[in-house]
Amino acid sequence: MESQLDAIRRSFDQELGQARNTEHLEKLRIKYLGRKGRLTSLLRQMGKLEPRERPRIGKISNELKVYIDSRLQAAGAILSEDKKTSAGLDVTLPGRAFRRGSIHIINQVLAEIEDMFVDLGFSVVNGPEVEDDYHNFEALNIPPYHPARDMQATFYFSESTLLRTHTSPVQIRIMENSQLPIRVIAPGKVYRSDSDVSHTPMFHQVEGLWVESGINFSHLKGVLEAFVHTIFGPDVPLRFRPSYFPFTEPSAEVDIGCFICGGKGCRVCGNTGWLEILGCGMVDPAVYEYVGIKDESVTGFAFGLGVERVAMLKYAVDDIRLFFDNDLRFLKQFS
């Protein structure tokens, strides 16, 4: 019986050396330790042994049982460890893709607008988002009773400090602090207490200002035509419609041909065939007085456009709030 036990151990060792996965190990366990397994069957014959032999053989068999059991466990642990590392690597599995960030559509449009004006020789300048009443309103010739000062539209910190409601105060700051000629754009965030499909409390504007002796309305037209044709395409028509702003005289609003109906008139353009995209005009002489430009040969134009508005028209987005909801399904369309 002792030699039989020895043979079991040797054949187990040999078979274990060939096991390649956990199913093989399980088969081995059944083959040697199972109810009808080789070791179990042998142990059943213990009764046939002479009584004085039983304790010794019993001990050897038990040791063999423990041995087989522990070798199987150790092999199982090694195999499952291998699975996690190189030996178990499934090279056919698709790789895990990195999630790439992308530039927000508003910043993309902003960059496109900036590049276009930089190509025309404009420099990019910035101004503060927390403004004072003087730069946001007064120096822009917006008198105290003007509706733009309405508490409902402006976020105030105090009577004299507020979140800028437009980028036009940067015009004042630049004219106060620069030598002529001035040819700048001022992009940035602006704030108004307003929220619906076409308004959000924060949005972006790009202000433009060209001040220099001899600048006239045709320069304004040329620059804004270049803007529309670069951003919306060379065939998009535009028109200048007389308007009013306290800081420009004369003032105009620029419309582009409705991209939905092609000018025939539809719901989006309110049956006019035109969509408003910006405000502009020749700098009002009253503004030059505020900033201390006294040379009467100096003239200039200014314009202000809404970046979200441009993006909405360019990509046919019908709710401005989509830009700021941070819904990746929407934003990814522009990445």
> What x/- string results for residues 159 through 188 when contact with ligand DAH is judged by CB under 6 A?
-------x-x--------------------
Residue with Cβ nearer ligand DAH (68 or 209): 209
Residue 248 binds ligand DAH (CB under 6 A): yes
Only segment of 27-35, 62-70, 219-227, 273-281 that touches ligand DAH (CB under 6 A) = 273-281
Measure the CA–CA gap between 244 and 247, rounded to whole angstroms. 9
- Amino acid, res. 335: S
Question: Is 300 in contact with 182 (CB distance < 8 Å)?
Answer: yes
What is the Cα 132 distance to its own chain's centre?
32
Number of residues in contact with ligand DAH under rule CB under 6 A: 11
* Shortest distance in whole angstroms from residue 303 CB to ligand DAH: 5
Residues 198-217 that bind ligand DAH (CB under 6 A): 207
> What x/- string results for residues 278 through 307 when contact with ligand DAH is judged by CB under 6 A?
-xxx--------------------xxx---
Measure the CA–CA gap between 257 and 82, rounded to whole angstroms. 67
Report residue 285 as tokens.
């002489």
Question: Is 136 in contact with 100 (CB distance < 8 Å)?
Answer: no
123-124 vs 182-191, strand pairing mode:
parallel
Q: Point out the residue whose Cβ comes nearest to ligand DAH.
A: 304
Residue with Cβ nearer ligand DAH (232 or 303): 303
DSSP conformation class of 247: T
Find the helix or strand (DSSP H, E) in which 175 lies.
Answer: helix 168-177
* Shortest distance in whole angstroms from residue 192 CB to ligand DAH: 9
Binding site for ligand DAH (CB under 6 A): 166, 168, 207, 245, 248, 279-281, 302-304
